[in-house]
Structure 1
Amino acid sequence: MHLNKEMNYTNEHIKALLVEKLAGTISPEDELLADAALAESPEALAYWHSLEQKFNATGRPAKFLSDIDVEKSWEAVNNRILGTEITEVAPTVGRFRTWHYIAASAAILAVVFMGLLWTREPKNPIRSNGTNQVRLQIDGGQTVDLSADRQIDVEGAEISNRAKELSYVAATGTELKWATLSVPHTKDYKVKLDDGTTVWLNAASTLRFPFRFSAAKREVYLTGEAYFEVAKNKKVPFVVHTNFADIQVHGTAFNVNAYENESFSASLVEGSVSAVKENKEVILQPGQEVFSKSDGLGLRSFDPELLSWRNGTYYFHRKPLAEIAQVLVRWYDVKLDWKTAATSSQTFTGEIDKSQPLEVVLSNLQLTSGINSKLQNGVLTFY
C-alpha cells in the first residue's frame, strides 16, 4: 500500500489511517493520505471495503466509533496482545502508527466486546432453565401460561398467544376486567391492546392493563421497560403509570424505562408525550427523553438508534458497568456481586448481543478492559 517510497508508508500505517477514518478520529491531513491510498491502491480499497462491511452490517450507530478513547483502549489490551509496555519501544513514525493501528482496532473491538466479533460457542453456554415463563394473571385468580402458542377463553376476553405475541378480543356486556402480563428474566414479549396499541415488553417487566378501555381514559401500569406504539385517539388520552412518573400520550411511539431501584427515563421517537411528577409536567419533543434526577425530572436529547433492545441488541453510551450489568441480570437471569466499587463505576460505550452466550460476553469484556468476572451458581461476580 505504499503511496510514496520516500515517505515510506507501511501497510500498517495505511491500515491505521483507514481505521481512524472509519472511527471518525482522523485528522484532515491524514484523511488526504487515506483517500490517496484508496485511489491508488487496490489492496487499500479492499481493506476499506472489508472494514465497512464488518461494521455497517450490524447497524451500529457510527458515533460510537468516534467516541472511543483510543489511548485508554490501548492501555487495556497492550499487555494481553503484545506482552510489552508501550514505553519500551523506540518512538519511530512507523512503529507509532503500528501502535495506533492496534490501539484503534482494540477500541473498535471494545465497542463490540459483547460478542459481535466473537461467535464461538463455549463448552458450557449459559441457558435459561426453562422454568421462568411469560404469564398472564387475570384479576380474580386465573393464571395463563404463555410458553406455547394457544388460544384460550378467560373471563373478560378471548386470548390468542402466537409467536411471542398476545392479542385478544374483549368480551362485551361484562364488567371491566384487568390482567397483569409478567415477562421474566431472559424473555421479551409483545401485546396488542384493546384499542390497537402495541407494547413490547423487555425482560423482567410487567404490564397491568384492562381487557377493555373505558370511554374516558386509556391507562396501563408499567414496571420495567416497554416500547409503546399508541393508537391515535385524541378524544381518549392514553396514560402509562409508573412508580416514578406518569406518561401522558396522544398517539405516538416512545420507550419507558422504569425498573425498580434504577434510573427512570421516557424517550420519545415520534408524536407528543408529557411526563408528570408531583404536579410538574415536562413536555417532550421527538428525539428527547425525560429522566429522573434528585430534584425531579430532567430533559435531554437521545439517539433513537439506541432503542434496539426489541431486536435483541442493547446499545450503551458512556454508561457505568453497574448499569450495563443490570441488563445482564435481566437478559441472562443472574445475580450480581461486586468486589470493588471502582469496577462498577468504570464506563463503556458499545453493545450487547442477546443471542450470544453470557460466557462470550464476559470473555470479551475481560479481553478489552481487563475486568475479571466469575459466574458460579447463578451469581456473577466482578473483580
Structure 2
Amino acid sequence: MTMNTDTTHAPQLRSWVASANVAGCDFPIQNLPFGRFRPAGSAEAFRIGVAIGDQVLDLKAAGLVAHADMNALMGATPAERRALRERLSAGLAEGSAQQAAWAQALVPQAQCDYTVPCEVRDYTDFYTSVHHATTVGKQFRPDNPLLPNYKWVPIGYHGRASSIMVSGTAFKRPQGQTKAADAAVPTFGPCKRLDYELELAYFVGQGNALGEPVGIDSAEAHLFGVGLFNDWSARDLQAWEYQPLGPFLSKNFASTVSPWIVTMEALAPFRAPFTRPAGDPQPLPYLDSAANRAQGALDITLEVWLQTAKMRAAGEEGVRLTRGNTTQAAYWTAAQLVAHHTVNGCNLNPGDLLGSGTLSGPTPGEAGSLLELSQGGKQPISLPNGETRSFLEDGDTLILRGWCERAGAVRIGLGEARGTVIG
C-alpha cells in the first residue's frame, strides 16, 4: 500500500490557470480532484470534471475521456489512474502545449451545478473515532462506555445510498417515533434532536470479486479517493429504534457529501504513522502490516461551521464550532476498513462509499457532533450573536471543511460539504 510522491506533487509546480496558484487555494495543480458537473440551471447531463483553481476542466471537452461514466473511471487500475493524473498535471502546468486547447474546456466553478461525484450504489458507515464512541457511550453507559469489541473489530453497518446528497442541498427535518424516558408509550412527530456527524467518505475504486478478500497491503489500491461527509443523525429517533438492529429512520433520511473526490494519489504527501495507545490491543494480523503502521493514517484538518438563519439574514458567514485532525480522531485506517469489509468475501464495487464515522478528537474543541458539544443537550452552546444551540434548528446550515497542509508540500483542500435543514 505504499504511497509515493512524484513530479505531480512538486511544490514548485504552477498552473497556467492563475487562480490555482493563489496561496491557500483548495485546488492547486497538486490536487486535481474529480467530480461531476454541468452548466448551472441547465438540464444537460452531468459530465466528469477536475477542479483546478476556481475552474472546472471538462475532461471530455479536453479529449481526456470519451464518456461521462465516473464509476468506470474510478474502476481503472492504479497505473491507469496515475497516468491520467500525470496527463492532467502536464497539461495544466505553466508552459504546457495544451493550454490553448484546454482553456476552451474550462468552466468557472461558480457557474456550475454539481451532483454526487459518482453513482453510490452501496454505502457502509463505520465508527472509527474512539473518542466519539467513548463520549457518546458515557451518556448511555456511564460505567461501561466502550463496548469490549470496539478495539478489536472495525464497527460498521450498511446505510442508505439513495438519500446521499451533494453539498448545497437542503433537506426536510425527519419524522418518526420517539419515547421519553418517563413516558408509557412512544409518540410520533418531527425530530427534536437533529444532529450532524463530521465524517470522511472513502470512495472505492477497483472492486474485488465475490469471495475474494482484499489483503491489508493491497487495500488502498482499491480506494479511489476521499471526500467530506456529513451523516445527519436524528438522535431522539435513534435512541428509541436502535435496539436490537441499530439505527434505521434516524440515519437514512439524508447524508451530505462534498462534490469533489480528492484522490489517494493527491494525498500521498500527507500520510502519517498509524499507532495505538500503549496498552491497547494491537490489530489482528489481517488488519496489520508494516506499511499500515508506517503511513496508514491521513493527515487532514477538519472544521465544522454553523450558519443559522439569523446569521444568514445578517450577511454573516457563520461561526466555527470545532477544528480537529484525522490523525487524532481515527482509530482505524482506511486500509483496515477495506480489509475488514472484504475479509468475509464481500465484494466492493467502483463508487461504493465507506463512511469513516464521526471523527472526534480528544478535546471538546475537536468534537464531531452536537451530541458531544452540548453533552446530550444538557449544556447548550452559546453563539456570538446571542443564539444558543443544543441541536439543529430549522434554517440552520452546517458546513464541513477540510484541507491538508505540511512543510515541503503545497496545501490542498477538500472543498466543503454544506447542507441546510428545513421544516
- Decide which structure has the larger Cα Rg and report it: 1
- Could you state the TM-score of these two structures normalised by the residue count of structure 2? 0.22
Asked which structure has the greater RCO (Cα within 8 Å, sep 6+), the reply is 2
The answer to which structure has the higher helix fraction is 1
- Could you state the TM-score of these two structures normalised by the residue count of structure 1? 0.24
The answer to which structure has the higher strand fraction is 1
